[in-house]
Structure 1
Amino acid sequence: MKEYNLRRHHETSKKHSDKDKNMDTEQRLQKVEELKRGLKSQQALFTIAKSQSGAAVKASFIVAEEVAKSARPFTEGEFIKNCMLKVCDAVCPDKRQLFSNVSLSRNTVAERIDQLSTNLKEQLVGKGKDFIAYSLAVDESTDTSDIAQLSIFVRGVDSSLSITEELLALRPLRGTTTGQDLYEEVSRCVNEMGLPWEKLVGLTTDGAPAMCGYRSGLVARMRERMREENVTGELTAYHCIKHQESLCGKALKMEHVMSTITRAVNFIRARGLNHRQFKAFLGELDTEYGDLPYHTEVRWLSQGKVLQRCFELREEICLFMENKGKDTTELRDETFLCEMAFLCDITSHLNVMNLQLQGRGRVISDMYSTVQAFKTKLSLWETQMRKENLSHFPSCQTMKEKLSTAVFPTAQFADKLNILAADFRRRFADFEAQKCRFQLLGNPFAVDVESAPPNLQMELIELQCNDTLKEKYDRVGAAEFARFIPDTMAELRIQAAQTLSMF
């Protein structure tokens, strides 16, 4: 350091120190307060800048999250920012700079979404370490580019019996989709997420041979892996309940009715001129409905909606097609109309059941009860149909009133209901083996202790004799009651966790 700089610093410091030395106590206090105010004002500048910067970053994360949820392009961020600035100019122009500081460029939105994804994965990994039981749901389907996509969901339960249900991974399968390929992806995903194999209790599949193959399917390979990991528990594998319910409807074998309706709908909807004229035609007739929906096979509820609308507009559809020179003999046939009415009603009942099975947080014991209730309804409907009681089939009742009693084939439809009930019993036979487990979760106070597993019998007796817990069960219901089982009943809590974790 140069001598000149040292001398100048010494003389300047000495000058200030001599000046301060001559101050009295009051002046010194004033000087201290002045210095404090100067320091706080300097710090406030940094604090304000930091808070504004933090708010801008938070806002960009919020917008990026909404862009991701709505599956919109990342470039939408710039459009949203332009809209925000125009609104700001009209409402609070003095705040424009704050909105300008929010970065919503394409790269920023992409980076924010990537950071959100990473954070969600870290949270899921953290929750996975606390699982005392979890199940996987695996489904394989093909996207629009003919690439097989394997979706893996996890449903886990922690020690407080809180349920976590999330998408674990979506993996593309660009080659074959054999049981070995599926197993490798699922196994890799389980290991990456740090999920313990000994806590895996259930595996839900779509029922494909590659999933359920006895020797080389995904289920068989997962069970083999669990044996290699020295897991003592048994893996419960079953076909997805909602998928099974959808497949049961095919047992009616009434595709000829649906194909005829689909051809009529496609004739009206496929050509723009026909579609416009049909809507105008319905408007002239002042009908309740103004259009026909398309039927989409992959959408399980689509068939019921199309059937219901076509049945309501059956006369208008025939009139329009006749004006266009199309033959409507089949659409006006009495036998066809009766079959259409029956299919409309039974599909409507199946759709109601499907909606009851859907929804986040559904418990498998409640879903099993829904299936059991529907099987009982089928038995009742069959009996009533043979007696020509159409109380629960409004479309059939409408057709019967318009036709002679001898024409309406109640015996034929009763046989259809019998076939449907038999298919339900066949497809859901695997769940009968789990009936005791479902009852332990659904209503543990009504379970016969002698039929319960030996390791649960003592705790089950204590539970059933506890009036406080019985009152709690009556107040909160079966789904929430499991969390109130005391820690002293460890076996019951584990059993409840395993059942709650099943899809």
Structure 2
Amino acid sequence: MSSSSKKQKIADEKRLFQEKWENLYFVTQVGEKLSCMICLQCISVPKEYNVRRHYETLHREQYAKLSGKLREEKVHHLKASFTKQRNFFACINTASEDSVKASFVVSEMIAKASRPFTEGQFVKECMLKACEIICPEKKKLFEGISLSANTVASRITESATNVQQQLIAAAKDFVAYSMALDESTGVTDTAYCAIFIRGVDENLNIVEELLDLLPMKGTTTGRDVFQELEACIERCGLPWDKLVSVATDGAPAMCSEKVGIVGLMVEKRNQLSLAGPFAAIHCILHQEALCGKSLQMKDVMDVVVKTVNFICARGLNHRQFVSFLADLETEYGELLYHTEVRWLSRGKVLQRFF
């Protein structure tokens, strides 16, 4: 007979714990199993033969002399001690789970605020100082929260992996999805390609997230970016036939009909014999940037920039202007500079100036 058949047979017997076993053999029921109140050993099968054999083998010589009232008092004492110990370990497990959860929450906040991983230790010190004042009896719980730099980095990595897994799982239900691509170079001269995905399922639930951030090694031609994009799509299990559009920044490496990403995607769809709708669109943000460059508003910007520079370039003028705004109790107490490199600053400067 197989082990599975034996387990099934034991479960089918539906053996019940008998209260008399507490006084006879010093055992108590814990869930579906029995546990010895003396040595805390688990007795998996609630059968009197097994219980008696355990007692006679390990504890009979020490406890056989107890009888009557003395035996009942000993059973009551052991049972109370056993229950207290189980509750203690349950509290430890609960506190441990809460500490890990708190560590994940704080790590997520550090990541969202773009703070260094070493900030976790500083946050923990702040919590301990506050705990000493508000609830000193719970200081041990706060000390159990691990927020070292390595732990914070590990928590953020695990959270990011979990979010990506959820996104991939949700993407399997998409009836259609689109992508937005943006390739740029970071401060360390490393080129990255950010891939955003937007999909909709049959219940019209829309999901829009950052799918992946791909580091580019060597050249960043359209074919290089397309190969990374193709690998990402295959890795995430996204079907090509449900990709309906792609948004790019309009650069030649993106939009070229032969060597650009759009052209290579069309070629890929032709190879797969896909006849569904597919559109390549221009990123709206980059359209606004182009419009901002074309619409110079020189007459307006010259006056605004000259005024801002007159106020902010000299310390005395700046201090007098800030004092003037403070006397008027205005909502804003400062002016913003306009930077040609950051095209969004033009609108912000004009709004603040107004």
For Structure 1 versus Structure 2, the TM-score category normalised by the shorter chain is 0.7 to 0.9
Q: 1:304 aligns with which of 347, 351, 354?
A: 347
Q: Deviations over 1:316-363 (max 9, x none)?
A: xxxxxxxxxxxxxxxxxxxxxxxxxxxxxxxxxxxxxxxxxxxxxxxx
Indicate if the aligned counterparts of 2:292 and 2:343 stay in contact, CA closer than 8 A.
no
Q: CA deviation at 1:126?
A: 1.1
Q: Of residues 320, 329, 341 in structure 2, which corresponds to 1:280?
A: 320
CA contact (8 A) 1:142 1:149 kept: yes
| Aligned pair partner of 1:203 in 246, 258, 264 | 246
Q: Deviations over 1:407-456 (max 9, x none)?
A: xxxxxxxxxxxxxxxxxxxxxxxxxxxxxxxxxxxxxxxxxxxxxxxxxx
| Runs of at least 5 residues in structure 1 that lack an aligned partner in the other structure | 1-8, 313-503
What residue identity is the alignment partner of 1:44? N
Amino acid at match of 2:317: Q
1:183 equivalent to 2:223? Answer no
2:334 maps to which of 262, 270, 291: 291
Q: Are 1:258 and 2:258 matched, yes or no?
A: no
Matched, 1:222 2:265: yes
* Equivalent residue for 1:166, pick from 209, 215, 231: 209
Deviation (angstroms), 1:45: 1.9
Greater RCO between the two (CA within 8 Å, min separation 6)? 1
Distance 2:188 2:151 in 1: 28
Counterpart of 2:185 in structure 1 is 142
Quote the residue 2:6 is aligned against.
none
Please report how far the alpha carbon of residue 10 of structure 1 lies from its aligned counterpart in structure 2 after TM superposition. 7.4
Partner of 2:164: 121
How many residue pairs are counted as aligned between the two chains?
Answer: 297
Residues of 1 paired with 2:57 and 2:238: CA distance?
Answer: 70
Matches within 5 A, 1:391-470: none
Which has more strand, going by share of residues? 2
Match of 2:279 in 1: 236
Deviations 1:435-494 (A, max 9, x none): xxxxxxxxxxxxxxxxxxxxxxxxxxxxxxxxxxxxxxxxxxxxxxxxxxxxxxxxxxxx
- Asked whether the 8 Å contact 1:279–1:290 carries over to 2, the reply is no
Per-residue CA deviations over 1:47-101 (Å, capped at 9, x if unaligned) read: 1111111111111111101000000011111111111111011111111111111
The reply on whether 1:73 has 2:123 as its aligned counterpart is: no
Matched residues in 1 for 2:246 and 2:169: separation?
22
The answer to whether the 8 A contact 1:279-1:291 is kept is no
TM-aligned CA distance change 1:28 to 1:17, over 3 Å: closer
8 Å Cα contact 2:190/2:215 also seen in 1 = yes
Aligned to 2:200: 157
Q: Output the CA distance in 2 between the equivalents of 1:45 and 1:155.
A: 49
| In 1: Cα distance, 2:278 partner to 2:333 partner | 51
Q: How many angstroms apart in 2 are the aligned matches of 1:148 and 1:128?
A: 27
Flag the 1:263–1:186 CA change in 2: closer, same or farther, 3 A.
Answer: farther
Q: Contact conserved, 2:193 with 2:214, CA < 8 A, in 1? A: yes
Deviation, structure 1 residue 238: 0.5
1-structure distance, mates of 2:188, 2:307: 30
AA at the equivalent of 1:98: L
TM-score, normalising length from structure 2?
0.74
Please state how far the C-alpha of 1:236 moved relative to its aligned partner: 1.2
Report the 3-state secondary structure (helix = DSSP H, G, I; strand = E; otherwise coil) of the residue aligned with 2:203: coil
**Counterpart selection for 2:149 from 106, 110, 122:** 106
> How far apart in 2 are the matches of 1:209 and 1:11?
84
CA distance in structure 1 between the partners assigned to 2:198 and 2:58 by the alignment: 72
Q: Given that residues 339 and 346 in structure 2 are in contact (C-alpha distance below 8 angstroms), is that contact kept between their aligned partners in structure 1?
A: yes
What amino acid is the match of 2:118?
A: T
Following TM superposition, by how much is the alpha carbon of 1:11 offset from its aligned partner in structure 2, in angstroms? Answer: 9.2
TM-score with structure 1 length normalisation? 0.53
Determine whether 1:131 maps to 2:171.
no
Q: Contact 2:223 / 2:264 at 8 angstroms: preserved in 1?
A: yes
Shift of 1:207: 1.3
- 1:366-415: CA deviations, max 9, x gaps? xxxxxxxxxxxxxxxxxxxxxxxxxxxxxxxxxxxxxxxxxxxxxxxxxx
% of aligned pairs identical? 48
Contact 2:257 2:264 in 1 (8 A): no
Q: Does the C-alpha gap of structure 1 residues 113 and 14 become closer, same or farther in structure 2, counting only changes over 3 Å?
A: closer
SS at match of 1:186: helix
Structure-2 separation of matches of 1:36 and 1:203: 68
Letter in 1 for 2:212: A
Distance 2:283 2:298 in 1: 23
- For residue 175 of structure 1, give the secondary structure of its aligned residue in structure 2: coil
Alpha-carbon RMSD across the aligned residues, in angstroms, is 2.9
The Cα of 1:130 is off from its aligned counterpart by 1.6
* Equivalent AA in structure 2 for residue 207 of structure 1: G
Uncovered stretches (5+) of structure 2, i.e. residues with no partner: 1-54
Q: For residues 273 and 255 of structure 2, what CA distance do their matches in structure 1 show? A: 22
Listed one character per residue, the Cα deviations across residues 188-220 of structure 1 (whole Å, up to 9, x for unaligned) are 211121211111111011111111112111111
Structure 1 residue identity aligned to 2:104: F
Select 1:40's aligned residue among 41, 61, 83: 83
Q: 1:12 to 1:248 in 2, by over 3 A?
A: closer
Q: Distance in 2 between matches of 1:309 and 1:120?
A: 38
Q: Higher helix proportion, which one?
A: 1
DSSP 3-state at the match of 1:156: strand
CA separation of 1:43/1:14 partners in 2, compared to 1, >3 Å: closer, same or farther? closer
The separation in 2 between residues aligned to 1:193 and 1:251, in whole angstroms, is: 40
* CA distance in structure 2 between the aligned counterparts of 1:174 and 1:258, rounded to whole angstroms: 41
